[in-house]
A = this chain, B = another copy of it.
Amino acid sequence: MELTVLSDGHFMKEALREAQRAFEKDEVPVGAVITCKNRIIARAHNLTETLNDVTAHAEMQAITAAADFIGGKYLKDCTLYVTLEPCVMCAGALQWSQVGKVVFGAWDEKRGCSTVGQLYHPKTIVKGGVLETECGDLLRAFFQKKRKL
C-alpha cells in the first residue's frame, strides 16, 4: 500500500476548521491539531471564555489530548498545527512535551513567543506562515465583529 504523505497545508486546514468552531462560540478563533505518523490524534480550539480559564488555549488542550492518546507525556514523533503563533505559555508547554515539529499559521506580533526568544525545545522544528492569510483573516474578522458590538 502506498502511503500518501499529507502536506502541512492539509493539516493546517484541519486546524482552521477547529478555529472556525471557536469563532462560532464567540471565542478568539484559534484552532490546533496534533498529528503522529500522518494521522490526526488530537484536535482542539480555544475555550478560554467558555471555560473561564486562561490556560484553555487550543494548543494546551491538544497537548493534553495527544499525550492521553499516546499514553505518554512526550510528543517527540508528533507535529502540532496551530492557526496562530503559540504564546509564551504554550511554547513552554511544547518545550516540556519535546514535540517534534510546530507549524503555525498567522504570526502574533504582540503575544507570540518569538517576541521573547527561542522558547521551544532545541530539537523542535518550527515553521510559521502556513496558510497565514486564511488564519489571519479569521482572527481579523473576529476582532472586527467585536469592535462593531
Chain A interface (Cβ < 8 Å from any Cβ of B): 48-49, 52-55, 60, 63-64, 67-68, 71-74, 87-93, 95-97, 116-117, 119
Contact = CB atoms under 8 A, between A and B. Distances in A.
A57 to B, nearest CB: 9
Contact of A91 (B53, B90, B92): B92
Report copies per complex. Answer: 2
Contacts of A92: 87-92
B89 A73 contact: no
Contacts of A119: 88, 116
A-B pairs with lowest CB-CB distance, top 8: A89-B92, A88-B92, A54-B96, A89-B93, A52-B73, A54-B97, A54-B73, A55-B93
A42 B91 CA distance: 25
A72 to B, nearest CB: 6
A77 B63 CA distance: 30
24 contacts: A49-B73, A52-B67, A52-B68, A52-B71, A52-B72, A52-B73, A53-B68, A53-B73, A54-B73, A54-B93, A54-B97, A55-B60, A55-B63, A55-B96, A88-B88, A88-B91, A88-B92, A89-B90, A89-B91, A89-B92, A89-B93, A90-B92, A92-B92, A116-B117
